[in-house]
Structure 1
Amino acid sequence: MTETGTSILLGYEHNLLEGALITLELSLGGLVLSLVIGIVACAMRLSGIRVLKWPSVFYTTVVRGVPDLVQLFLIYYGGQFLLNMLADKMGWGYLDMNPFISGIFTIGFIFGAYMSETFRGAILAIPHGQHEAATAYALSRWTTFRRITWPLMMRYALPVLGNNWLVLLKTTALVSVIGLNDLVGFANLAAKSTREPFLFYAASAVGFLVLTSLSLGVLWWLKRRYSLGFTER
């Protein structure tokens, strides 16, 4: 509190906390969707079936080659156009795209391409002898995946997955440009209302640092979890 009884953040603490929660929800939703898309795209890429492989190659190539902000605008405004074109045909009124849902879909769609390549590299890094041993023991495909492929894949993929998560977390800041009041969105509103941009953007920076620090702790635990039985070389 300052001498006049006004808080350091000029009464916007609750707004920023609400924005931080929305940012976290947006990040987790985007992460789950990106993991699902990444696993599916990876399976398509490694299937060896052309009709499945080439769409996956096209998807990862295009997504990784187009800026995230451009893709956000394409999905949000393109989705808005298609949604209302459908609404006109169905006789509905004007419909607005939900910025939160659009943000989750965009982030999941973008990072699904990165997750796909991460999973593919991790699977290819698994020694072939592991699968030969599973075949020798007559393990089913599901048992082989659950007991051998998945744990080893996660061990090899985890460092890159961690980096992808940290980048994904920061990428959520872009969603504020389509009207979502996340941490950056509320900081922007507070900065305009009080004419104290440095204060509120610094506060949002601290908020992201807290979230990334907590994330590093979780990633450290996961690394220990999937490194059991292995020794560092």
Structure 2
Amino acid sequence: MLTQIDWQLIGFGDEGWGGVLLNAATVTVTVSLCAWLLGAVLGSLLCWMQIAGSRWQQRLAAGYITVFRGVPELLVIYLFYFGGRQVVAAAGTALGLQGPFDVNGFIAGAVAIGLISGAYQSSVFRGAFYAIPRGTLEAATVTGMGRLMLFRRMIVPQALQTALPGMGNQWQSVIKESALVSVTGLVETMNQITTAANSTQMSFFFYSVGAVIYLIITTCSDWVFRAVEKFSMRGQQRTRV
């Protein structure tokens, strides 16, 4: 069966889909990176609200996490893209602006996935914070470290070291969730694979190519996170030896 496949279909020539698939994979990585970074920022904020915030901040953070962990990812993307267009159109009409009004698919997808990722990353950061030995923080406080210095020199380095595996898992999840952004019309990997499959009537072949593309992205990402984690643990490794 494999001998009957025209492998030039995934080549980089005029008749091949290799070039557009590479561009689509680049879009997938870019939108995933934006979403993951947004999730990291939101996760940090939510973590702080849960640990050091007031009672209403703790409840607000808990409510946010409950909502975005309980609502399907696709529904959130629909809400921000299709629902967002209605909000933008209503706001533009109220201001007397002329349409057409639209929402960028890249922005809508990145924000939607980022908000979801933030709910999960907050749990990662919270667990990493509580993994820091209390004696370490107490000793730093006794030596006269202020809250800002304590946060910068003690909490952040140790918490990030513990959080790296969880952050890597969240990155892998964001990569896979980015396939849902294709519903916005953004030409990322899933959208381009579907277009190629429909155009050539070779669905099995191109969807298999899509699976390989996602596998390459996630595997390379895993190597990167493992390297960063190994680098962050270099001191402990020398101590064990």
Give TM-score scaled by structure 1 length: 0.94
1:21 aligns to 2:22 (yes or no): no
| Residues 108 and 87 (structure 1), Cα distance of their counterparts in 2 relative to 1, 3 Å cut | same
CA contact (8 A) 2:105 2:185 kept: yes
Q: Distance in 1 between matches of 2:53 and 2:23?
A: 46
| Residues 56 and 6 (structure 1), Cα distance of their counterparts in 2 relative to 1, 3 Å cut | closer
Q: Which runs of 5+ in 1 are unaligned?
A: none
Structure scoring higher RCO (CA < 8 A, sep ≥ 6) equals 1
Paired position in structure 2 for 1:125: 131
- Encode CA deviations 1:129-177: one digit per residue, 9 max, x unaligned: 1110111111122221122111111122111111111011111000001
In the TM superposition, residue 6 of structure 1 has moved relative to its aligned partner by 7.0
Q: Distance in 2 between matches of 1:77 and 1:32?
A: 24
CA contact (8 A) 1:41 1:116 kept: yes
Of the three residues 142, 154, 157, the one matched with 2:160 is 154
1:95 aligns to 2:101 (yes or no): yes
CA contact (8 A) 2:32 2:175 kept: yes
Paired position in structure 2 for 1:113: 119
Paired position in structure 2 for 1:34: 39
Q: Distance in 2 between matches of 1:181 and 1:191?
A: 14
1:49 aligns to 2:50 (yes or no): no
- State the aligned residue count: 231
CA contact (8 A) 1:30 1:104 kept: yes
Paired position in structure 1 for 2:143: 137
Q: Which runs of 5+ in 2 are unaligned?
A: none
CA contact (8 A) 1:151 1:226 kept: no
Paired position in structure 2 for 1:163: 169
The residue identity in structure 1 corresponding to 2:168 is: G
CA contact (8 A) 1:187 1:204 kept: yes
Percent identity, aligned pairs only? 37
Give TM-score scaled by structure 2 length: 0.91
Of the three residues 43, 51, 63, the one matched with 1:58 is 63
Q: CA RMSD in A?
A: 1.8
